[in-house]
Amino acid sequence: MIRVLIADDHPLVRKGLKQIISETRDITVDGEAETCAGVLHKLSKKEYDVVILDITMPGRGGIDVLKRIKTKNPKLPVLILSIHPEEQYAIRAIRVGASGYLTKNCEPRELLLAIRRVASGGLYIQDTLAQKLAVDVSSKTAKPPHDSLSDREYEVLLKIAEGKTASKIASEMSLSVKTISTYRARIMSKMHMKNNSEIIRYCFLHGLVD
């Protein structure tokens, strides 16, 4: 039996995932978490075979939690299930140890296939993402400016591009407004930008936001 921990802050998403999994005989939902701290607490108390992790949960953020999971238990498969398209987070997630990346509009059968694949030690990567990873690894051309950002800076970049205020971003990331302002200043410096309008334009041009 594949024991799954579902980590998502939306009750309806967790309920939907449990319903899909309940129709199988070889997979069971053995735990749920709705915050990043909750994920780490659950993992400290019980063993799981697969973690299904949302990339943008309250607290430290999915990428940061993914890093901590892989540091403590490098063999534990983590399957990212996100509302965000591959262009935003997939490559970064795979780089730091995710075993797969799916968007929340995937078919139930694909989700179950992915769970089984990563539980057996494999990777689950859709064809489009595989192509992007191949280009990322083999490309000899200069990386785009946003690639120089840390994971936290990158997350702030996307939230700014979505039109969110510093206070809103701070609330979502459980950080102070001053810290968000510091991240913003670093983003501006690294990407040679002067204001939020330039960030928004850049993210749209590079397909990082819809």
| Tokens representing residue 81 in the block | 């299930």
**Residue in 100, 101, 139 with CA at minimum distance from that of residue 123:** 100
**pLDDT tens readout for residues 32-84:** 999 888 999 999 999 999 999 998 877 767 788 999 999 999 999 999 998 87
**pLDDT tens readout for residues 160-179:** 998 999 999 998 888 899 99
Q: Which CATH class is domain 145-205?
A: mainly alpha
State how far the Cα of 6 lies from the Cα of 34, in Å rounded to an integer.
8
Domain definitions of the chain by residue range: 2-138, 145-205
pTM of the model: 0.76
Yes or no: domain 2-138 corresponds to CATH 3.40.50.2300: yes
Read out DSSP for the chain? Answer: -EEEEEE-S-HHHHHHHHHHHHT-SSEEEEEEESSHHHHHHHHHHS--SEEEE-SS-SSS-HHHHHHHHHHH-TTS-EEEEESS-HHHHHHHHHHTT-SEEEETTS-HHHHHHHHHHHHTT--B--HHHHHHHHHHHH--SPPPGGGGS-HHHHHHHHHHHTT--HHHHHHHHT--HHHHHHHHHHHHHHHT--SHHHHHHHHHHTTS--
Q: Would you say 25 and 141 are in contact if contact means Cβ atoms under 8 Å apart?
A: no
**pLDDT tens readout for residues 6-37:** 999 999 999 999 999 999 999 999 999 998 88
Q: Which amino acid is at 11?
A: P
